[in-house]
Amino acid sequence: MRLTEKERGVIKRAVLNIVKNMFLTINCGSSSVRAALFSLDSSGKLSRLWEKHLPSHDLESLLSFLPEHPTTIGHRVVHGGARFRQTTQITEEILHFLTTLSPLAPLHNTYSLKGIEVAKRLFPKASHFAVFDTAFYAGFPQHVALYPIPFEIARKHEIRRYGFHGISHAYLWRRYLEMSGRKGGRVLSLHLGSGCSITATVDGIPIDTTMGFTPLEGVMMGTRSGSIDPSLVPYIATKEGISAEKIISLLNEQSGLLGISGLTGDMQTLLKEKTPMAELAIEMFLHSLIKAIGSLFALLGSIDALLFSGGIGENSPEIRKRLVEKLPWLSVSLDEEANQTASCLSPGTGREISTSSSITKIFAIASDENLAIAEEIS
């Protein structure tokens, strides 16, 4: 059957619309890279066409699998500094400014910038946007955002608590509402992976979080120390005869679970090792989480749910169990069977893992940062 000119025109416009609405997201984490391709239909709904994950930062190889050329690309950028409070199109001037922020998030921004460089070379005609982890916390009031250092120094150098993993925490809040059927509430979202952070959210607004000026602050992590006495920096510099810059590298790359265990920063490996130093690292990790949860709970006053996410939060029933057992004051009760089966979740999926009698509900949710980024740029 031959098509009429009108019918050919309709098909052509439909094809052009599909091509026009192709969105690529690139998420360079501290230890891996994930990319996804989405299309936007005429009703404004995003559909995932393709997604790949590599336990390395070989973005060029990853994008070689891409089935279509995108017209819009969203890049996860961890640190936006004081300047960037919302998603921003990447120009040469913006890209140059982002390079100045790399020392504030060395495990992330450096890889994000390389990702932008590769993607701009492979897709020079696409529009590129930076989606910032720090944007979720841009509305922090001064009493939350500032450090107790001389105010003029903080103002001059834009020193404040920026917060991180914001894309994930914002997504977890929205997904919690969908799963629980609630319209609001008070939650603690635990993004536990190579990097770890906890955020307290009330009705969609973050009121505090564990990370601060850089992603090094907060709870103990895979290779990051988390919060320490700042006097340790000059003390170690003097005793070891190394520079402050090398100590920051040590705190970012050789500390945390890796530094204590002497084996690895990977939680699943440590759980299998069962050596005294591996167990010490795990106990220190749990202890740091309990302290952070306690302080954030004090700010919330009450809590409706704990949300577990990230590589550890999603995939380690043992860590979830051991942590919840140390939180009786939260009135939480874990469903053992649900907890054991809630692992290896695909992005965006999750399940409740608390018992029906648990006052505080518990959810394991696989954060879908790629979808959140696509929603920002579509």
Cα–Cα distance measured from residue 292 to residue 148, given in angstroms and rounded to the nearest whole number: 19
Radius of gyration from C-alpha coordinates of the chain:
22
- Strand 305-309 with 186-192, pairing: parallel
Q: How many residues would you count in the chain?
A: 378
Cα–Cα distance measured from residue 265 to residue 353, given in angstroms and rounded to the nearest whole number: 26
Residues 6+ apart with CB under 8 A from 324: 306, 332, 334, 362
CA nearest neighbour of 187 among 196, 174, 195:
174
Contact 33, 52 (CB under 8 A): no
Angle between helix axes 109-122 and 92-99 (nearest 10 degrees) is: 160
Cα–Cα distance measured from residue 376 to residue 131, given in angstroms and rounded to the nearest whole number: 7
Residues 6+ apart with CB under 8 A from 341: 351
User: Which one is catalytic: 58, 133, 266, 368?
Assistant: 133
58 tagged catalytic? no
Cα–Cα distance measured from residue 109 to residue 30, given in angstroms and rounded to the nearest whole number: 9
Q: Which residues are catalytic?
A: 133
